[in-house]
Structure 1
């Protein structure tokens, strides 16, 4: 049997050691890498299994290094640490497992300390940062930020998120639950989402105090839903005369409104449109999915009049088709205010209904073509699964006919109703 070595190394040998593994005895080894990096390793055998453990991350070694303000253990220090672990192994303690458990406890304690310090405002900020790119428009982002700032942060913004309870949520909601029902309902959902995120990250436990079903619905009365009804629309018989009146206005808002009518688009789609979405050669406006209500790219065929409008606004410069002040996009209120001066009883969105009524009552285009022109989704899932095209060629014919009708400046007398 080979003789066991003990204290085989000297400080000089340690300093001059070549790359390799150098035994000092008692399970202690100096490991020198080709790069010159050095480390001390303790080899032990427990339950018939041999294992190696680096000493540099051991609590005892860390304490010695901090005390001596050095980067590596000396030979004497390494022997002292190895002696501690030999005693542990002799007592049947696995030092590697012990170190892993200690690290897990420290991580848990650190997480608990972090949870203690995490405020609702902290978690909300993280949630907003990670989700704002998924929101369709700037208005939606502002609503999140503004409602949290105005209603939530004054009450629980600086409170540890783990301590938020039902009474705090009620303190936020009750003052506006009946007076600002829509805002209050959306705000409750936002608080619920943020508290759910906090739970997933381990900052809180238990039920969500902002949950509606089975919780807040037992305390708060059902909210009053807004009765919006349909958007007031101009009868399609009056659209040509309206277009004639609209063309007497030279403002950019008038061009934007006429373009909206000709394309049967929504306000947000028009005011957010940029020039890289337009192909003059293909006579096409391609609206990216992120700006569409259905979240799906939509191609719009452009009539000659729609292209003529774009040629006019192109002279204004900027990135948007219809620029507003300081080169930014036009305000959503610009077309609405103009419309109030011309036809106070209708809405901008209502022109989509005007177009739909005209298409249904005066043309023979199939329903699916008319619905595709409005970028409506197919409610029948089976039909949607099989319909892959966007009926673009047929829609181009439809929109060209609509543009011709809008420019006719004739109000049919039959069945015409007063606006």
Structure 2
């Protein structure tokens, strides 16, 4: 095989991984490995060989951080890499968020309601999602999305949520093209609700509750007001 690794896969299990404490490198087979460091952290990585050159790709940490990579997700990511290698893709020329974002804007060109709608999409993605632009789309995590949204989440909540939705649309586009593996990190149901500060609810149009003892007086005044408007 071009990668130079055994075909056998699925050597590890969740039970075994949780029990592993000795620093070292443990193979799940066919290029997928788990590295355990002296401090106890566990990191997934994939190794392949092409034209005699060995390359290592990090796939994320196991059981740590806001977006931990489970055994199942690590295998899913490894499968995506194997598919790209089989197609002869150059894994070093990975698309950035900005590149995929431009593709999405081109695809949506005909579906924008008007120029204003298009300008809103362009503005939110170019201005507020700017920290994501240079990142490889495949490497974007929930941490990155939170960093983008947190500064504007309570200041301009409506714009912030639209920015989140549009980031999610870019990543969904990447998933459809096989450029992103795993859950969409900008999906509200995927954990963002627990990671972003609560936003104050709009109080416009609401009045303070009337106490029980004050209710007769309020009703009396309301009746007088209605009568005055009717016969005034």
| TM-score (norm: length of structure 1) | 0.28
